[in-house]
A = this chain, B = another copy of it.
Amino acid sequence: MSAVPLHQRIRDEIEGLVRSGAWAPGYRVPFESELMAQYGCSRMTVNKAMSALAEAGLIVRRRRAGSFVARPKVHSTVLDIPDIQAEITARGETYAFRLLAAERRPADPDDGDEIELAGEGELIVLRGLHIAGGRPFALEDRLISLSVVPEAATADFAAEPPGAWLLHHVPWTEAESRISAVGAEAFVAELLALDPGAALLAVERRTWRAGEPVTRVRQLFPGEAYDLVARFGPAR
């Protein structure tokens, strides 16, 4: 009853192994000859699957060396506000992250976001301030699921901001962003050194890895300070 063509099945299985993290970036995917043996098919069939994965950017192929799980480009998924730190230093400004609060605890049973992330397990709950050129640049509130990302328990988010840390440690995620504009509440205005009511760009992003919720972040940017740029067109 397999209406699924073989090259598709090979492709899907490898894609699953990559996206789930079972094969980390840099891992050497089996050679075409090995996959031929494993699936009992011809090289062209394996090749079709692997070429498609390479075109999709999940693997990188090198003659004579083999095929490897790609290291996702930091800028991969457009608009992701990929890495505020990288963004700022690329502009030539100094960057700092001030961790305002950090705790580890189970989900608040009244908070849907927290329950979705933590399940029965625990969360990391963070608040921090991104600082560019000495001036406040963004306020960030973040939740991280410890059941999906146990390594987060021992990460030092004062040294490496959580966004950057997650990008480096949890590749191949999917994300959904909601973007809106809000006026600054009093305590936010104070933290960002703005007048109360000033226009802020609000970004809320939720991220999954192979269907498992990884993190949820809310970021507030002074409206004038940040332009979110998204470009759509031919990938190559």
Contact = CB atoms under 8 A, between A and B. Distances in A.
A194 to B, nearest CB: 11
Interface of A: 52, 55, 77-80, 174-183, 197-202, 208, 221, 223-224, 226-234
A44 B60 CA distance: 24
Contact of A221 (B52, B181, B232): B181
Contacts of A233: 174-175, 208
Contacts of A230: 79, 176-177, 179, 230
Contacts of A197: 197, 199
A179 B228 contact: yes
By secondary structure, the A interface counts as strand
A52 B235 CA distance: 13
Given A52-B55, A80-B232, A200-B199, A227 B178 contact: yes
Nearest to A201: B181
A224 B180 CA distance: 7
B231 A176 contact: yes
Given A199-B183, A199-B199, A221-B181, A175 B231 contact: yes
A174 B234 contact: yes
A236 to B, nearest CB: 10
Given A55-B52, A200-B199, A223-B183, A232 B178 contact: no
Nearest to A233: B174
Contacts of A199: 181-183, 197-200, 223
B223 A175 contact: no
A228 to B, nearest CB: 4
Given A77-B232, A177-B228, A183-B223, 10 more contacts: A78-B232, A79-B79, A174-B234, A178-B229, A180-B228, A181-B200, A181-B202, A182-B199, A197-B197, A198-B199
A229 B181 contact: no
